[in-house]
């Protein structure tokens, strides 16, 4: 058995390539870019399949992917930069920066009742609530329909045909799904956080992230759109089992609305640099993005015993997991059906991108596919295949 200095078996790493090639041959995914870094060494970095199957264009390691919710950790780090500089506090009410969030109400539907009842918030949502998804804000397009989701849909809140300022102002006037601070439910919290960043910093969100994160870290392809000269590198999906091409975000020109919750694109190598910065305690190649204690605080559990008994909590966290400030956090060794270590932190994106950082193993893994209907299976497959390759 050939073992690299990273402690990974070369033969076992080949199983990753074979598994993804099988998925490509079966038409489940077009292609993938996969990267693993351990003990300071990039031990595996492969591009397989097609960047664009319809164009018969092979996948390349520098292919650009829509990373959707893998934007959230970048926005969360951006917010913590402002916290470190003393420009805002985690305990600040959101309404301190966004007036439409003052005097919020919660939508309640009593069992058997046909009408909604609105009740006042028991306490205002804070910046920390935005970071850990306990603000009471939700997504209206995911999973089951609830009273609050119906109100969001009636308001057309998911539209991207308005500016971030306009969207967040309207969102603040809608009822919440939960009392702030009481329930984890995934939603528009990070988009709201992006608007707070703009107000506190006095800079547009994409400019702030570029100047404070992606430029210092040399993440040259991570942005809110793909420049015309690079659009030929954009990865595309294949048709699903019903013969339909999954609709994905249009990223060929600057968006009207800068979504800090899901609007960015990037490459596997760029995201590997971002993760390396986090594993290193906030620094990479002379760029100090955050302090080490701030990274440790962000990657600790911030939910405690708060409820997460909703569809997004069950699907995105699952047994043995909590949530920090922008990341899912593994709390127990044996409760999840996927391998890992206590303290590893991770997140993914709707179109099939996924990363995790395992400090105990000094491990980073990044998976980039562009296939929403296959995300769950391949995220789990990749995790299993990465850990089985560790032999020392």
> For residue range 353-387, what is the model confidence (pLDDT) as tens digits?
999 999 999 999 999 999 999 999 999 999 999 99
Q: How far apart are CA 198 and CA 207, in angstroms?
A: 9
55-82 per-position pLDDT tens digit? 999 999 999 999 999 999 999 999 999 9
Q: Please check the confidence at residue 142 and state whether its pLDDT lies above 70.
A: no
Q: With 80 as the cut, is the pLDDT of residue 43 above it?
A: yes
pLDDT, tens digit (0-9, with 9 covering 90-100), for 90-105: 999 999 999 999 999 9
Residue 160 has pLDDT above 90, yes or no: no
Q: What is the pLDDT of residue 252?
A: 97
pTM over 0.85: yes
User: What are the extents of the domains in the chain?
Assistant: 62-353
Angle at 99 between CA 93 and CA 102, to 5 degrees: 60
Q: What is the mean pLDDT of residues 305-333?
A: 95
Q: What is the pLDDT of residues 240-286, one digit of tens each?
A: 989 999 999 999 999 999 999 999 999 999 999 999 999 999 999 99
Instruction: For residue 337, give the nearest of 383, 303, 390, 305 by alpha carbon.
Output: 383
Q: CA-CA distance, 50 to 52, in Å (whole number)?
A: 5
Q: Are 107 and 176 in contact (CB under 8 A)?
A: yes
Q: In which band, very low, low, confident or very high, does the pLDDT at 3 lie, cut at 50, 70 and 90? A: confident
The more confident residue out of 112 and 214 is 214
Residue 353 bridge partners (DSSP):
349, 368
The mean per-residue pLDDT over the stretch 155-182 comes to 95
> Is 110 a residue whose pLDDT tops 80?
no
CB 237 within 8 A of CB 371: yes
Rounded-to-integer distance, Cα 210 and Cα 224, Å: 10
Residue 335 has pLDDT above 90, yes or no: yes
Average pLDDT value for residue range 25-44: 97
| Residue whose C-alpha is closest to residue 78's, from 198, 255, 254, 221 | 198
What does the pLDDT read at residue 281?
A: 98
Percent of the chain with pLDDT over 70: 98
pLDDT computed for residue 96 by the predictor: 98
Q: What's residue 112's pLDDT?
A: 64
Q: How far apart are CA 113 and CA 105, in angstroms?
A: 18
> How distant is the alpha carbon of residue 87 from its chain centre?
24
114 pLDDT exceeds 70? Answer: no
Q: Please, which pLDDT band fits residue 7 given cuts at 50, 70 and 90?
A: very high
State the chain's mean pLDDT as an integer.
96
* Residue 241: predicted pLDDT: 87
Where are the strands (E) in the chain, listed by range? Answer: 31-38, 41-52, 57-58, 65-68, 105-108, 117-120, 264-266, 283-284, 287-288, 321-323, 328-330, 345-349, 353-358, 363-368
- pLDDT band, residue 113 (cuts 50/70/90): low
Distance CA 213, CA 97 (A): 23
* Superfamily designation of domain 62-353: DD-peptidase/beta-lactamase superfamily (3.40.710.10)
Task: State residue 364's pLDDT score.
Answer: 98
How far, in Å, CA of 160 to CA of 275, rounded? Answer: 29
Inter-helix orientation angle 375-388/10-25, to 10°: 160
Q: How many CB atoms lie within 10 A of CB 64?
A: 27
Strand 264-266 to strand 283-284: parallel, antiparallel, or no bridges (unpaired)? unpaired
């Amino acid at each position: 058995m050939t073992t690299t200095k990273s402690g990974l078996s070369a033969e076992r790493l080949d199983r990753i390539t074979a598994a993804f090639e099988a998925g490509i041959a079966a038409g489940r995914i077009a292609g993938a870019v996969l990267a693993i870094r351990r003990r300071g060494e990039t031990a595996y970095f492969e591009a397989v399949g097609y960047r664009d199957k319809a164009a018969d264009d092979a996948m390349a390691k520098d292919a650009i992917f829509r990373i959707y919710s893998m934007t959230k950790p970048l926005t969360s780090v951006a917010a913590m930069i402002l916290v470190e500089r003393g420009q805002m506090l985690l305990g600040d009410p959101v309404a301190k920066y966004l007036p439409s969030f003052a005097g919020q109400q919660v939508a309640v539907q009593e069992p058997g009742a046909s009408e909604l009842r609105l009740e006042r918030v028991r306490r205002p949502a804070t910046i920390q609530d935005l970071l850990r998804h306990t603000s009471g804000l939700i997504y209206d397009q995911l999973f089951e329909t609830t009273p609050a989701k119906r109100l969001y849909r009636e308001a057309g809140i998911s539209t991207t045909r308005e500016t971030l300022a306009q969207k967040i102002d309207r969102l603040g006037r809608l009822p919440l799904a939960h009392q702030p601070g009481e329930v984890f439910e995934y939603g528009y919290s990070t988009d709201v956080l992006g608007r707070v960043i703009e107000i506190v910093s006095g800079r547009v969100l994409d400019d702030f992230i570029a100047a404070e994160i992606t430029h210092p870290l040399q993440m040259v392809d991570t942005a809110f759109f793909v420049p015309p000269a690079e659009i030929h590198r954009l990865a595309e999906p294949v048709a699903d089992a019903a013969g339909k091409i999954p609709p994905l975000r249009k990223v060929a020109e600057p968006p009207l609305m800068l979504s800090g919750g899901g609007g960015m694109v990037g490459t596997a190598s760029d995201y590997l640099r971002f993760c390396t910065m986090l594993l290193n305690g906030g620094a990479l190649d002379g760029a100090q993005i955050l302090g080490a204690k701030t990274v440790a605080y962000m990657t600790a559990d911030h939910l405690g015993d708060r409820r997460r008994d909703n569809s997004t909590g069950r699907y995105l966290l699952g047994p043995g997991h909590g949530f920090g400030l922008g990341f899912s956090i593994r709390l127990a060794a044996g409760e999840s059906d996927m391998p890992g270590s206590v303290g590893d932190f991770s997140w993914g994106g709707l179109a099939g991108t996924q990363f995790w950082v395992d400090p105990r193993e000094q491990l980073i893994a990044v998976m980039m596919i562009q296939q929403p209907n296959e995300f769950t299976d391949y995220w789990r497959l990749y995790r299993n295949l990465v850990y089985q390759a560790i032999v020392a």
